[in-house]
């Protein structure tokens, strides 16, 4: 019986040690989620244009539907429309005044964004930008359909960012810069 006690204690101790080790992959709040950010503006003016409708679509401009959460973890069985970022106060309440507070999505500033799953195959989709409210922005802009690429996705977890920095090509986590024409 004594010859079994020492090996059992060794196994128990090694299992206990393994349970209390810090895991190698620490997850962040943005795991499994990416964002696409769009900055539509006029030539020579950096101000983001108000009153636009931006949606993920196919090459004909038909909005694609997020069937069974296949494209995003939000808006099941609905088209993926971009929303405008907004500012919040110290109590996380939405502000109407863009001069105060901090951006809700710190990385998107005063732009449009949509959340997608990290498995979103951006190279297979497009974005369609339409001016739905010509009154709000002082003009009527032409509709544009722009192809997406995997580098358009914001990967916000640090480990993913480090891997992307090592690759050549366009830098990650930059908004899609769109110059709108009247």
Q: What gap in Å lies between CA 105 and CA 178, rounded to an integer?
A: 20
**Confidence tier at 8 by pLDDT (50, 70, 90):** low
Q: What is the value of pTM for the model shown?
A: 0.74
Domain boundaries, the chain: 24-180
3-state secondary structure of 165: helix
Q: What is the pLDDT of residues 109-166, one digit of tens each?
A: 899 999 999 889 999 999 999 998 766 666 689 999 999 998 898 876 655 444 554 4
DSSP 65: B
**Confidence tier at 27 by pLDDT (50, 70, 90):** very low
């Amino acid at each position: 019986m004594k010859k079994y006690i020492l090996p059992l204690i060794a196994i128990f101790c090694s299992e206990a040690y393994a349970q209390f080790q810090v895991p190698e992959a620490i997850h962040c709040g943005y795991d499994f989620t990416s964002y696409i950010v769009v900055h539509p503006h006029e030539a020579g003016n950096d101000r983001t244009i108000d009153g636009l409708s931006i949606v993920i679509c196919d090459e004909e401009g038909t909005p694609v539907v997020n069937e069974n959460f296949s494209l995003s973890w939000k808006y099941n069985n609905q088209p993926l429309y971009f929303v405008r970022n907004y500012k919040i106060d110290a109590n996380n309440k939405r502000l109407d005044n863009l001069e105060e507070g901090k951006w809700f999505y710190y990385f998107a500033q005063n732009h449009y964004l949509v959340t997608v799953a990290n498995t979103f195959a951006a190279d297979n989709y497009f974005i369609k930008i339409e001016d739905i409210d010509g009154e709000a922005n002082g003009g009527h802009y032409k509709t544009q359909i722009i192809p997406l690429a995997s580098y358009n996705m914001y990967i916000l977890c640090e480990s993913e960012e480090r891997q992307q920095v090592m690759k050549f090509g366009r830098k990650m986590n930059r908004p899609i810069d769109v110059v709108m024409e009247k």
